Amino acid sequence: MTIELRRPVHDPIVLDDPERLSFRVDRRAYTDEDLAARELTRIFDRCWLYVGHESEVPAPGSYVARDVGGRPVVMARGSDGVIRVFANSCPHRGALVCSQPAGQVRSFRCPYHDWTFSNQGDLVGVPIPDGYGPGFRKADFGLARHQSDSYRGFVFVTFDPQQPRTLTEYLAGATEYLDLVDDQSAAGMEVIRGAQLHGAQANWKLMMENSVDIYHFRALHKRYVGYMESLGSVPPRRRGGFGRALGLGHGANELPPAAARPLAYWTPMFGPEVRPRIEATAARFVERFGPERAQRITGTNRALLIFPNLMIIDAIAITIRKIDPVGAGRMAITSVALAPRDEDPDIRELRKSHYLTFLGPAGFATPDDIEIIESCQRGYLNRAVRYSDLSRGMNKEVPETTDELPAREFWRQWDRLMHGDDGHHEPGRRAGAQGAGPR
């Protein structure tokens, strides 16, 4: 058990000094259980949180059940075609009404007392109803419904009844990157069936930082760099690209041109047999969007952080990664792959293969990342070093992908919310927090 040194509550966690080009984070933020508990109420109870993709509930009655912000919820498409997000808890005595991760039903049944709910959340059946008085009304006991909305197929929920922003307002500059994802298919995008569920013995924020940290790529992922080179492909360069702060904690890194994109950017690692089809797809994007927009969609690798806990890695495959805290020193990770609905079957298999090869729990990259963030978490036990430094790139007008601008944007929003900022105003620009790159 970690014993934390208690410091005054006014002692800051984030030390942001643009004049001195210094940005430091007290390592208590990764180890203190009191802070971890406060994150649930000040961040996860207040933000818009990612639930899932509309394609996961394609037909009336289809549903997925998962934890969001520490709360069990059900995302279901009702018989009326509307997607809703419910508390996965019976209003009678609290048991889960849905114990399977996904499926299709006409109704949900609580296994405790057989209370039954429609797939729209209404209470429709109560055994032995004469045990209740004349004031009992089924309409008062439907599944609790959470406020939810979607943008380009990505469904979010908020547990804050006073949420000051619409989803689109909350997403701020991240909408541009979600557009780039969804525009990859005129037929729509879909989550490939099957999720990867794993975790790490480290604080959840370490994985958020790691996921937008390109600085580590060649140092930590030497095996994958060698693998790419052995197949005739060029791994990401140490320099180049740009980072952007997208507002409200969101950030992105972008690497043009792409090293490999099964969507429309061929490299030798994909094999010569699929080259004509990939190049034909690239030509269709130019016809549909024009050369500049087509290059923006298909010719760059991107890592998008949506505050607080969603990563979309749009590179050799599209990975949606939800990272949930489990106390100060543990996290749960849920990853799925996204792809065009109308994708060529051979290209789909290629995409799935590279998704697993690089970003799968047993792939080239993810085990490296988990091992290193767990190493950081263990290193924090030596409290002689109090701060971690995230100041790289503060001296640049246009930070590169190897700089730490997206991580600083994340931490500035974390700091605002943990200090009780109600989020009603758009934070002003600070030196070193500028955005960059094409729109």
| Tens digit of pLDDT at every position of the chain (439 positions) | 333 334 444 689 999 999 999 999 999 999 999 999 999 999 999 999 999 999 999 999 999 999 999 999 999 999 999 999 999 999 999 999 999 999 999 999 999 999 999 999 999 999 999 999 999 999 999 999 999 999 999 999 999 999 999 999 999 999 999 999 999 999 999 999 989 999 999 999 999 999 999 877 777 777 776 766 676 666 666 567 899 999 999 999 998 665 567 777 787 778 889 899 988 998 999 999 999 999 899 888 899 999 999 999 998 889 999 999 999 999 999 999 999 999 999 889 988 887 887 777 777 788 889 999 999 999 999 999 999 999 999 999 989 989 999 999 999 999 999 998 754 444 333 333 344 444 3
Region of 169 please: left (phi>0), alpha (psi -120 to 50) or beta. Answer: alpha
> Token match 């070093």: residue?
385
What is the C-alpha separation between 113 and 411, in angstroms, rounded? 46
Cβ atoms 329, 2 nearer than 8 A: yes
Structure letter (DSSP) for residue 341: T
Q: What is residue 176's predicted lDDT score, i.e. its pLDDT? A: 97
Cβ atoms 233, 287 nearer than 8 A: no
H-type helices in 5-82, by residue range? Answer: 28-31, 33-39
Q: What is residue 172's predicted lDDT score, i.e. its pLDDT? A: 98
What is the C-alpha separation between 377 and 37, in angstroms, rounded? 18
Q: Which two tokens stand for residue 350?
A: 């290629």
CA distances from 204 to 323, 377, 421, 433 (A): 6, 10, 22, 23
Cβ atoms 268, 277 nearer than 8 A: no
Structure letter (DSSP) for residue 137: -
Q: What is residue 45's predicted lDDT score, i.e. its pLDDT? A: 97
Return the SS3 of 312: strand
Break the chain into its structural domains and give their ranges.
Answer: 51-158, 192-418
> Are the folds of 51-158 and 192-418 the same?
no
Structure letter (DSSP) for residue 1: -
Non-local (6+) Cβ contacts of 95 within 8 A are: 89, 110, 111, 112
Q: What share of the chain is helix, strand, coil (3-state, %, to 5)?
A: 30, 25, 45
> Token match 């429709």: residue?
124
Fold entry, domain 192-418: Naphthalene 1,2-dioxygenase Alpha Subunit; Chain A, domain 1 (3.90.380)
Q: What is residue 6's predicted lDDT score, i.e. its pLDDT? A: 41
Tell me the residue length of the chain: 439
HSE-up (13 A, CA, CB side) for residue 33: 5
- Give residue 13's identity as a one-letter amino acid code: I
CATH architecture of 51-158: 3-layer Sandwich (2.102)
Which strand ranges, in their side-by-side order, compose the sheet holding 14-17? 14-17, 22-26, 387-389
H-type helices in 162-274, by residue range? Answer: 167-171, 174-182, 204-211, 217-220, 222-230
Cβ atoms 68, 159 nearer than 8 A: no
Structure letter (DSSP) for residue 144: P
Q: What is residue 258's predicted lDDT score, i.e. its pLDDT? A: 58
Q: What is residue 259's predicted lDDT score, i.e. its pLDDT? A: 57
- DSSP assignment of 243-300: EEEEETTEEEEEESSPS-BTTTB--GGG-GGGHHHHHHHHHHHHHHH-HHHHHHHHS-
Question: Any idea of the CA torsion for 204, 206, 207, 208, to the nearest 10 degrees?
Answer: 90
Q: What are phi and psi of 174, to 5 degrees?
A: -70, -20
